[in-house]
Amino acid sequence: MEETTEKSHKGLKKGLYLIPSAFTATNAALGFLSVIYSLRGFQANFVDQKLASEYFDYAAAAIGYAILCDILDGRIARMTKTTTEIGVQLDSLADVLTFGIAPVILLYSWGIGLVFPEGSQLYNLGLFVLFMYLMCGTFRLARFNIQATRPRVLMEGTVKTDKKNFIGLPIPPAAGLIAAIVHYTPTPLSSHAQAALYASLVMILVAILALLMVSTIRYSSFKTVGAGRNSLYLILIVAGIGMLIWLYSHYILIALAIGYVSHGLLWYLFNILISGAKNETDSMKPIAETSENETITER
């Protein structure tokens, strides 16, 4: 009986390792579907813009569901203590597809490829910006893997990481903002009167996201949220947000995406202002002390 019990426990433990990998595989599958739907939308735009809008919405939704899978696989791996090095690498490879390649194909099919004539300067600039987004996202994932497997300082000036924060904007929220924008207005940009202006603004946004991913700005990881007695409140908050997304997905998703992407940048600028004000106050102290000493000497 004891041997049977031990074998069942070992089998259960081995089975736990498959759960995070299953979510990672689902993540990759959703990224694959997003690419397919984007290509179908690009083709359908020349025949039926309404059908193209549906395909683009499906592509954006696939990225959104993939973000949920990406969150769950990490949390499940930490909860069950089944985190492995191959799991980290597999997760990053899936992220390159789902949050790197899929958003690039979506933006090209939904906007740039349909708005600007092929070979024009803006068309080539759009391709360059999309490529740099992909490269910055890939670099961001490679840096995260190195920091996760070797958390010590690798070179002089490398920022130390902690569990509460990410260094640089993670690629899933960057892709999430792109998907939220397309979900908010899935109609191809070519159908708008000011299509060139909107496509140019999208390129600027993508360039900003690329820079944020390779920056050293800290973004909250929320890994410690819900620990201990606060888990009940977390469940209530998640349930409330889930219901709001179900009812008002177009508005809530884009608000959440903008909120997360901007909170790290705003906090970074706030710290700069605070440190600048503090340095200015410190620099004024010696001047005040000198003037006071001079007054005493004169007396």
Q: Residue ranges per domain, the chain? A: 2-298
pTM score:
0.82
- Give pLDDT, residue 201: 94
- Give pLDDT, residue 200: 93
Distance CA 124, CA 116 (A): 9
What pLDDT digit, counting tens, does each position of 99-149 carry?
999 999 999 999 999 899 998 999 999 999 999 999 999 998 888 877 766
- Give pLDDT, residue 55: 96
- Give pLDDT, residue 103: 96
Phi first, then psi: give them for residue 167, nearest 5 degrees. Answer: -95, 110
Distance CA 219, CA 176 (A): 15
Do the beta carbons of residue 142 and residue 219 sit within 8 Å? no
List, for the chain, all residue ranges whose pLDDT scores fall below the cut of 50.
Answer: 1-2, 4-9, 11, 151-159, 161, 287-292, 294-299
**DSSP, res 215:** S
What pLDDT digit, counting tens, does each position of 241-263 carry?
889 888 998 999 999 999 999 98
Distance CA 256, CA 184 (A): 13
- Give pLDDT, residue 264: 87
Nearest to 169 by CA among 223, 222, 211: 211
Distance CA 31, CA 34 (A): 5
∠ CA 192-194-197, rounded to 5°: 125
Do the beta carbons of residue 117 and residue 81 sit within 8 Å? no
**DSSP, res 169:** -
